[in-house]
Homo-oligomer: A and B are copies of this chain.
Amino acid sequence: MMKTSTLLKEIDSNEASNDFLVSGGCSTHDLSLWHALLELSRKRSEHDAPLLSSAEHTIPANTIICHPTTWYDVVPVISSGWAMSSMMLPNGRQQILSFLLPGEIVSTALVFGPTAGRLIQAITKVTYRTFNRSELKAALSKHPELFEKFSKVWINERSEADQLAMDLGRRSADERLARLILKLMKRLSKRDMMQGQTFEFPLRQHQIADATGLTPVHVSRVLTIFRRKGLIEIDGRMLTIRDENGLHRIASVK
């Protein structure tokens, strides 16, 4: 049952609060909340009913987890694998709003209302745990420290959204891609999903394009340049950071 939690580093809730100020993101609040929720769902009342009912699901890659407007009475949280949340326009244009990693709530909107508001899809094979919404809401209002964790996740999510807007509105293709790679690296290392400077990288280039507001062709070009410059190395579905400082130089403002 708890296979998933071995994937996740046990991290104190406030470890990352200072680097939060630096770049506005990459905090571990998600993980802290996730552990608290698991805890709650493991505990039993005197009648052996769980304090927070939940269920685990496993789905193959490219499956839809939530439609933006259908109603759910559960809140899914990723246990393992990669997922993404996106918006789509009728004409096919798509914007990926975030990649979801283990420990992250699929849509915080689902905690308060029945709809996710965005399309959530599995990128790899994904397992996720769904928590009953009304029980979760009750738990939040009953346990202030849980609510505290949740509000931090919330604030962090907002800050990530702001960063995304800054990236899309005011940064060049090189910057966006370097930042994407670095951000993923940071998030994965928090989750112990890196082997040295290498990590599994399941994203297709068209997905990277949809996340950065570029075309697949241009993503290919820029990544090729990154490779030729010795910044990164991609082989198969593995990505290795070869020159982290170089990436930072491109990513940050000059």
Contacts of A246 in B (CB 8 A): none
Query: A63 at interface (Cβ–Cβ under 8 A)?
Result: no
User: Which positions 161-184 of chain A face chain B at CB distance < 8 Å?
Assistant: 161-166, 168-171
Let me know if B112 and A154 touch, CB within 8 A.
Answer: yes
In the complex, chain A residues 144-172 whose Cβ is within 8 Å of any chain B Cβ: 144, 147, 151-152, 154-155, 157-159, 161-166, 168-171
Q: Are A117 and B24 in contact (CB under 8 A)?
A: yes
Is there contact, CB below 8 Å, between B117 and A168? no
Main secondary structure of the interface of A (DSSP, over half): helix
Q: How many copies does the complex hold?
A: 2
Nearest Cβ on chain B to A189's Cβ, whole angstroms: 24
| A residues in contact (CB < 8 Å) with B | 21, 24, 69, 87, 89-91, 93-95, 97, 108-109, 112-113, 117-118, 141, 144, 147, 151-152, 154-155, 157-159, 161-166, 168-171, 212-213, 253-254
